[in-house]
Amino acid sequence: MKIPRRRTILIIGAALVLLALPGILFGSGVMAQPDDLSTVVDRLITQGVPVVSSANSEGQVEITLKSASATEVGTPDDPLLISRTEREIVLAKSRGLDVQSLKLSVVNSQGELLATGWVPLDQTLDLAWLRPAPLEDSAAEASVRDQIAKETTLTGVSLDTLVVGSEADGSRVLTLELSTSDEKAANQSWADFMIRLYRMVNDTNAAQQAQISLVRVDLSDEGSRPLFRYVYDVQRDNQSWWQAPDMTSDWFETPS
Domain boundary, last residue among 91, 112, 127: 127
Residue 26 lies in a domain: yes
**pTM (2 d.p.):** 0.85
Residue 176 lies in a domain: yes
Give the DSSP letter of residue 176.
E
**255 or 245, which is more confident:** 245
Round the average pLDDT of the chain to a whole number and report it. Answer: 87
Domain boundary, last residue among 112, 127, 142: 127
Average pLDDT over every residue of 124-148: 95
From residue 70, alpha-carbon distances to 11, 56, 169, 188 in Å are: 16, 28, 32, 33
CATH number for the domain harbouring residue 196:
3.30.300
Considering the domain architecture, whether residues 190 and 93 belong to the same structural domain is answered as no
Considering the domain architecture, whether residues 119 and 140 belong to the same structural domain is answered as no
Asked whether 243 and 251 are in contact (CB, 8 A), the reply is: no
* Residue from 69, 32, 39 nearest 54 by CA: 39
Average pLDDT over every residue of 206-222: 97
Considering the domain architecture, whether residues 115 and 165 belong to the same structural domain is answered as no
Residue 113 lies in a domain: yes
Look at residue 154 and tell me whether its pLDDT is greater than 50: yes
Average pLDDT over every residue of 206-233: 97
Asked whether 38 and 53 are in contact (CB, 8 A), the reply is: no
Average pLDDT over every residue of 36-61: 95
Domain range for 152 is 129-243
Q: Are strands 9-12 and 6-7 parallel, antiparallel or unpaired?
A: unpaired
Look at residue 8 and tell me whether its pLDDT is greater than 50: no
User: In which band, very low, low, confident or very high, does the pLDDT at 244 lie, cut at 50, 70 and 90?
Assistant: very high
Residue 255 lies in a domain: no
Considering the domain architecture, whether residues 133 and 54 belong to the same structural domain is answered as no
How many other C-beta atoms can be found within 10 angstroms of the C-beta atom of residue 220?
18
Q: Would you state the pLDDT for residue 34?
A: 67
Q: Are strands 172-180 and 157-166 parallel, antiparallel or unpaired?
A: antiparallel
Beta bridge partners of 167: none
> What's the one-letter identity of residue 153?
T
Q: Would you state the pLDDT for residue 35?
A: 78
Look at residue 159 and tell me whether its pLDDT is greater than 50: yes
Considering the domain architecture, whether residues 120 and 144 belong to the same structural domain is answered as no
Half-sphere exposure of 222 (CA within 13 A, CB side): 6
What whole-number percentage of the chain has pLDDT above 90?
A: 82
Summarize pLDDT for 68-94 with one digit per residue, the tens.
Answer: 999 999 999 999 999 999 999 999 999
Considering the domain architecture, whether residues 135 and 194 belong to the same structural domain is answered as yes
